Amino acid sequence: MNDESCAPIGIFDSGFGGLTVARAIVDLLPSEDILYLGDTARTPYGPRPLAQVREFTLQSLDWLIGQGVKALVIACNTGSSAALRDARERYPDLPIIEVILPAARKAAGITRNGRIGVICTAATANSRSYNDALAASPVNVITQVCPKFVPYVEAGITTGDSLIEVATGYLEPLKHQQVDTLILGCTHYPLLSGVISFIMGDDVALVSSADECARSTFGTLKRKGLLRSDNNQAVRRFTTTGDPAEFEGLGRRLMGGFVRDVEQIDLGVTV
């Protein structure tokens, strides 16, 4: 095992949603150290212009690079949409894994009628990242922006009548379009999968960008020879640009005991 493979995997999200990616990575790669950064001081990214999202994402990735990570996981659909190309040009020697293409490939492979729905933030929808990722597949892509989903999750609300009412308004048009596969195009959304599945029905397959990103991370590290081969007692470090107590409290509520000892970090930029 080389020294490079012992470095942590860097995981970035605009807030809490990327914890679903981090948890999925830990489940697949329990011996790997991870370093998670949530830019909660500037979340949500979804309503922001893509240029600003790109700036914020690259600032966060620069910090992770400075911590000596062996790979970058952009666990944020909005961040991936805005900054993936720039990040790969900026860090040409580092594996960079994102959430969009793995989920698109999965959806294209399981759809039965070729009608794929994508629920996402406004910035992701405006970037047309999923349309581009699915352009070579014989499918129709129907996109629905769900601006209230992230605030619900980041308030710790994952069920209840109010959420169901909001979700029904977002999802009914997709039901009318007869989608049979639905991409959860934001890593916050797997935390709402119970409500989403309830509304869409059992015949609609949900594709989690978080789960597919974790599988892609495994495959990328394996191909690059960067997987740990020992029984390492993994170190999982969680950092945020916002309030660490708030982050840890919500993280524990949503993810159980997975999130602990959260640190606040300063990216050296203004909000």
pLDDT at position 167: 98
Residue ranges matching CATH 3.40.50.1860 in the chain: 3-98+212-264, 100-209
Distance CA 24, CA 26 (A): 5
Report the alpha-carbon angle 244-59-265, nearest 5.
25
Say which of 76, 120, 146, 213 is annotated catalytic.
76
Determine the residue type at 234: A
Chunk the chain into consecutive blocks of 10 residues (it has 271) and report each block's average pLDDT, rounded to whole numbers: 82 93 94 96 91 96 97 95 96 96 97 98 94 96 96 92 98 97 95 97 95 96 92 93 94 88 85 51
pLDDT at position 270: 55
pLDDT at position 158: 94
pLDDT at position 109: 97
Say which of 6, 120, 146, 186 is annotated catalytic.
186
Q: Is the dihedral of CA 25, 26, 31, 35 positive or negative?
A: positive
* Residue 186 annotated among the catalytic residues of the structure: yes
Q: Which residues contact 92 (CB under 8 A, 6 or more apart)?
A: none
The CATH architecture one would assign to domain 100-209 is: 3-Layer(aba) Sandwich (3.40)
pLDDT at position 116: 98
pLDDT at position 2: 61
pLDDT at position 206: 98
pLDDT at position 5: 84
Q: pLDDT (tens digit, 9 = 90+) per residue, 26-74?
A: 999 999 999 999 999 998 898 999 999 999 999 999 999 999 999 999 9
- CA 56 centroid distance within chain: 16
3-98+212-264: CATH class: alpha beta
Q: Which residues contact 59 (CB under 8 A, 6 or more apart)?
A: 267, 269
Residue percentage of the chain with pLDDT more than 90:
86
Distance CA 150, CA 153 (A): 5
225: left (phi over 0), alpha (psi -120 to 50) or beta: left
